[in-house]
Amino acid sequence: MRVFPAIDLRGGASVQLVGGAPDAEKIRLPDPVEVAKRFKTAGFRMLHVVDLDAALGTGSNADVIAKILEASGLEAEVGGGVRDEEEIQRLLDLGASRVIVGTRALEDPRWLEEVAFRFPGKLILAADARGRQVVTRGWTRTLTQDVGALVAGVDPLPLAAIQVTAVHVEGLEGGTDLALMSELVETTSHPLQASGGIASMDELRKLASAGVAAAILGMALYTGKIDARAAAKEFP
């Protein structure tokens, strides 16, 4: 298993939200480029970058993303508000290793199928869930679809990975939904990336043992609950 540090962008800053609520901002660092450089110094080789403003339809941090990719020199999976082929191609041309698709991909399965085959092995499906229900539009809209059924249903598509954020524990540092992640690993042949609430090295080891391909760390890294260098060394 690998660990990817998260850089969530809002208003040009790197932020961390609690419980997936846009108004529950706990961490705000004004220089995301410096944050990326610190993660590189700690030993990480891949970043997980999300434009929250684009996801919510309230703005764009495209210029900041470009600076992060150029200044850090790290590989990065990038997403947030990606809803057309042009944006996918733009991010790949910018230097993103992989592009994260969420809202439109979940709400328009036909479009997801089209772009998955248009960009084979380059797209990560963000199947975020509150409990077991899939959420979209920056976690503000709840779909009726069960996350397990969704993950199983996209198995034939040539995706790079499936990322599941347990939104109900996001940013709380009380532990992720290990039972859910362990279940989802068994329902897909795609690499599964787990996110949300991960709070300890022991929990990272449990996710690895369950077969999770990558863990995305946010709040626990920013608060120091998980030591960045230790995580990067054990899960390079």
Q: Which residues does the annotation mark as catalytic? A: 8, 128
Length of the chain as a residue count = 236
Q: Are 130 and 168 in contact (CB under 8 A)?
A: yes
146 CB-contact burial (10 Å; exposed 0-12 / middle 13-18 / buried 19+): middle
Q: What is the number of helices (H) and of strands (E) in the chain? A: 11, 13
| Cβ-proximal residues to 132 (8 Å cutoff; 6+ apart), any chain | 146, 147, 148, 180
| Cβ-proximal residues to 114 (8 Å cutoff; 6+ apart), any chain | none
The crossing angle, in degrees rounded to 10, of helices 178-185 and 201-210 is 20
Tokens of 49: 């970058």
- Using CA atoms, how far apart are residues 233 and 50, in angstroms rounded to an integer? 24
Categorise residue 171: left if φ over 0, alpha if ψ from -120 to 50, beta otherwise.
Answer: left
